[in-house]
Structure 1
């Protein structure tokens, strides 16, 4: 019973920390704010997390686990490397809209305050690998490096849009539709003909 209560307290603190990091960033978040948001005490917080850095580490660690699982599914299920890039962008957008820890990890990475696991570095390494494969497959009309830069800019825009969204669910469906529309515009210039006609801008799952 005591272990269950401790686990619930820890989970509540991580959720509260993620929310505060999303709203205020690392520098603007205090342990007192996290305590108040979680409805706990400073003693309980410092028992589980002795410093703010430990809280950020846990938030980013949970985000990394979710992101790695999503990217693994994409790499396993996509029919081509370039389709996997598209699917990965949709998977990341879905995590940003649905998982507060992922959105918090994204902001910490953008601020340069990520602890051990940098969320952006995690997915950009997979992105580069997939684009290298797409180049080797003869599907890319441009070299992998500028293609990677384009996709990173696209995802940066998605992240900022989700960060500033004020409605419940952070407009998950709308974000997916906007991302699909962007891919529909990008693919004719990114993929060699006729490959772009076989790709799904809205992602394989759709």
Structure 2
């Protein structure tokens, strides 16, 4: 049991270290040696868990996708306030990006020209935004002239843009940056009856949305 626990910890540390190295230098310019040094393990230990750098990148992307799912959750078809859910979740996601190199690396790999993965976190986020806005449309929460595809593209692009801009300037991760976006957007997006009760800075439920995931949820198990 102790050996198995040690193997799980080593695997987790390798994924975490790879995320940090990929985040600094991109996938192509990151080496297995850099990752091993950062994790404090030998090349043999790395290759016990991962065939090569590609497999390690896939593990980073998969773990980041699980973290994103933890942040967003599933959208209940009858959610009473889907627009507030969208606002709160965007705040929770940007806050998590500000402190989680694994999640940042997952998004970063998706826009890395050298990466050939499959998780595509930006698409996962886009699908969640589309589902949430579809629920809002069905409930009459969107303004009548809002084109669903346009709204999905705008929200997806802006929140993904916070991740890109925040790599070089952490002010883009600030809550006030996300709030400013929603203050500008909600008057055009929300139906009049919903506009006044949708809080651009996030609702009181926001504090519970950004809890850390359990290790079993965030990390793949050892083989």
The bucket for the TM-score relative to the shorter chain is: 0.7 to 0.9
C-alpha contact 1:18 1:104 (8 A) present in aligned 2: yes
CA contact (8 A) 2:77 2:135 kept: no
> Is there any run of 5+ residues in structure 1 with no aligned partner, and where?
none
Q: Give the TM-score normalised by the residue count of structure 1.
A: 0.88
User: Offset of 1:157 from its aligned partner?
Assistant: 2.2
Matched with 1:190 is 189
* Structure 1 equivalent of residue 117 of structure 2: 115
Q: Report the Cα distance in structure 2 between the residues aligned to 1:194 and 1:77, rounded to whole angstroms.
A: 18
What secondary structure, in the 3-state scheme, does the structure 1 residue paired with 2:73 have? Answer: helix
Residue pair 1:158, 1:175 contacting (<8 A) in 2 also: no
Cα-to-partner distance string for 1:51-73 (whole Å, 9 max, x where unaligned):
11111111111111121122117
Is the Cα–Cα contact under 8 Å of residues 81 and 131 in structure 1 kept in the other structure?
Answer: yes
1:22-101 aligned within 5 A? 22-72=23-73, 79-101=80-102
Range moving further from structure 2, 114-123 or 35-44: 114-123
Report the aligned-residue RMSD: 2.2
Higher relative contact order (CA 8 A, sep 6+): 2
**What displacement does 1:16 show?**
0.7
CA distance in 1, matches of 2:135, 2:185: 19
Q: Any stretches of 5+ residues in structure 2 without a counterpart?
A: 207-223
In structure 2, distance between residues paired with 1:203 and 1:20: 33
- The match for 1:135 among 137, 150, 155 is 137
Q: Which of the residues 124, 127, 131 maps onto 2:126?
A: 124
